[in-house]
Amino acid sequence: MKMNVFRLACLLVLGALLSACAGTFSGSFPRSEAQVAATDPQAPALDIQSWQTEQGAKVLFVASDALPMLDIRLVSDAGSARDGAHPGLASLTSALLGEGADGMSVDDIARGFEDQGASFSSSSYRDMGVISLRTLSEAQYREPVLALFNQVIGSPTFEQDTLARIRTQMMQGLRMETQVPGPQVNKAFQSTVFAGHPYGQPSDGTLESLPAIARDQLQAFYRTYYAAGNTVIAMVGDLDRAQAEKIAGDISAALPEGQAAPQLERATPLAERQRQHITFPSAQTHILLGNQATWRGNPDHVALYVGNQVLGGGGFASILTDEVRQKRGYVYGISSHFGPMAAGGPFQVRLQTGNDNADDALTLTLDLIDQFVQDGPTAEQLEETRASILGSFALGTADNSDIIGQLGAIGFYDLPLDYLQWFNEQVRTVTAEDIQAAFQRNLTPDNLAIVSIGPKAPQIRPADSDAGAAAAEEPADRAP
């Protein structure tokens, strides 16, 4: 605690003597800094074209002729949030795509893609069911690959025998997850913070739920949630607009007909602290702190994002890494993030620490969060973070893999096509007061759930003994 107060004082009051404080640089080193600081980083805009297919799929397309390749990503509102009473249904459905289509065995499909050097994959998240294809873009490779792709996504067979095999693999995967602490504590966090909400269910199902899922449920799930009207088609690559329209039209016609799924009810934050501990004989205690805090469309999104970069999202430059790892060596990794999704999204802080340090690390982390929510960032912290975010813009759209990811998210969450520029503008103008207010509106530190796994539950040290926990190294008064 005290050290952090010192740092604040240092940054606010002793601005001119910053070189005496952590995080600053002696003499004129680096010599190149002045030149770099004076150069505005480029932030090239993506030229996104967008249209709707006849069947109601939204298309986002960026033409890029730098490499003879094409990426396609279908993003359907088909994530585990749509599992209903059958945890694992969305994951199983997704896993069976590519495993059999009308008139084609899985062997035929695998050979069909790999003969042309193409790669196909499907994956499932809480909101999204995602199907990805990467192929060479010259017609001689692209055309057979796309014909196969449309058959695979448009007429999957969900054979009973294949279902049995994939289910067995998933259940082996679930058993392996119980060998290590991470996945167990993640599930416990999700079920604690989102109790009663679809986001609280285990996405990959359970050893009990998976055996109960039947073939006709997969077929129904596929028809409802992979429908054209419930799917975004994102494309990046060496195509012209006419080619892109034709490809998107064919994909859209191949998918089941149907509309967008109804919106889910937004998750509500826990109104008081919940604690959950899993006893497990590990060398480290994993601790997750958090609560429901945001959603896609939250007007505070940018302020929360920027603030979180200062607190724990900015890697080595962030407060949590600096205090808990760099200054005390309690952890290898500590980070915080806001994860906005369609119907909610957690604020989450995650750390892993040797069992002997668990109480100290938990107490310190809670104090740092408390203090940040109370005070917001310092002017210096905000300016550094603002520069960092603005300066990193070009890295976020540098290659086709980056761009296809951006297109998928922009399309799926109905963001404006110039969202990335808009976001940058907001980052430019957000103030420390905005951030402080946004954190206070969306987070109540006392209500953060504490979910942990390890030999014993970590305890918060009482306030009067926390000098030991925080191990202050420099004495200082509170900043005015």
127-146 positions binding other proteins, by CB under 8 A: 134-136, 138, 140-141
Shortest Cβ 459–other proteins spacing (Å) = 9
Q: Check residue 456 for interaction with other proteins (CB under 8 A).
A: no
Shortest Cβ 343–other proteins spacing (Å) = 25
CA distance linking residue 439 with residue 375, whole number of Å: 10
Q: Check residue 429 for interaction with other proteins (CB under 8 A).
A: no
Segment 157 to 176, residues that bind other proteins, using CB under 8 A: 165, 168-169, 171-173, 175-176
Segment 322 to 351, residues that bind other proteins, using CB under 8 A: 322, 325-333
CA distance linking residue 324 with residue 220, whole number of Å: 49
CA distance linking residue 362 with residue 458, whole number of Å: 7
Dihedral of CA atoms 292, 295, 300, 302 in degrees, nearest 10, equals 110
Residue 375, CB half-sphere, CA atoms under 13 Å: how many? 21
Q: Check residue 72 for interaction with other proteins (CB under 8 A).
A: no
Q: Check residue 283 for interaction with other proteins (CB under 8 A).
A: yes
In order of 6, 119, 295, 475, the CA distances from 372 in angstroms are 14, 45, 21, 20
Considering beta carbons, is residue 134 or 301 the nearer one to other proteins?
Answer: 134
Q: Check residue 83 for interaction with other proteins (CB under 8 A).
A: no
Interface residue with other proteins among 316, 464, 478, 480 (CB under 8 A) is 316
Considering beta carbons, is residue 173 or 297 the nearer one to other proteins?
Answer: 173
Q: Which residues contact 151 (CB under 8 A, 6 or more apart)?
A: 101, 102, 103, 104, 254
Q: Which residues contact 100 (CB under 8 A, 6 or more apart)?
A: 106, 109, 156, 157, 158, 159, 162
Interface residue with other proteins among 87, 154, 200, 314 (CB under 8 A) is 314
Shortest Cβ 402–other proteins spacing (Å) = 9
Q: Check residue 442 for interaction with other proteins (CB under 8 A).
A: no
Q: Check residue 446 for interaction with other proteins (CB under 8 A).
A: no
Contact (Cβ atoms closer than 8 angstroms) between residue 7 and residue 322: no
Shortest Cβ 160–other proteins spacing (Å) = 14
Interface residue with other proteins among 384, 413, 430, 470 (CB under 8 A) is 384
| Cβ count near 473 (within 10 Å) | 10
Considering beta carbons, is residue 6 or 295 the nearer one to other proteins?
Answer: 6
Which residue type sits at 479? Answer: A
**Would you give the binding string for other proteins spanning residues 208-247, x where CB under 8 A is met?**
----------------------------------------
Q: Check residue 382 for interaction with other proteins (CB under 8 A).
A: no
Q: Check residue 473 for interaction with other proteins (CB under 8 A).
A: no
Helix (H) or strand (E) holding 454: strand 449-454
Shortest Cβ 123–other proteins spacing (Å) = 15
Candidate ranges 125-133, 262-270, 386-394, 423-431; the one touching other proteins (CB under 8 A)? 386-394
DSSP 423-450: HHHHHHH--HHHHHHHHHHH--GGG-EE
Q: Check residue 66 for interaction with other proteins (CB under 8 A).
A: yes
CA distance linking residue 437 with residue 459, whole number of Å: 29
Shortest Cβ 216–other proteins spacing (Å) = 23
DSSP 200-256: GS-TT--TTTGGG--HHHHHHHHHHHS-GGGEEEEEEES--HHHHHHHHHHHHHHSP
Tokens of residue 155, six digits = 């007429």
Nearest CA to 60 among 45, 75, 78?
A: 75
How many amino acids of this chain bind other proteins (CB under 8 A)?
Answer: 102
| 3-state secondary structure at position 386 | helix
Nearest CA to 154 among 223, 106, 92?
A: 223
Interface residue with other proteins among 2, 215, 277, 296 (CB under 8 A) is 277
CA distance linking residue 292 with residue 199, whole number of Å: 10
Beta-bridge mates of residue 60: 50, 234
Which residue type sits at 140? Answer: Q
Interface residue with other proteins among 401, 414, 416, 433 (CB under 8 A) is 401
Shortest Cβ 209–other proteins spacing (Å) = 13
Considering beta carbons, is residue 106 or 437 the nearer one to other proteins?
Answer: 106
Shortest Cβ 224–other proteins spacing (Å) = 27
Q: Check residue 70 for interaction with other proteins (CB under 8 A).
A: no
Shortest Cβ 427–other proteins spacing (Å) = 11
Q: Check residue 7 for interaction with other proteins (CB under 8 A).
A: no
Considering beta carbons, is residue 83 or 380 the nearer one to other proteins?
Answer: 380
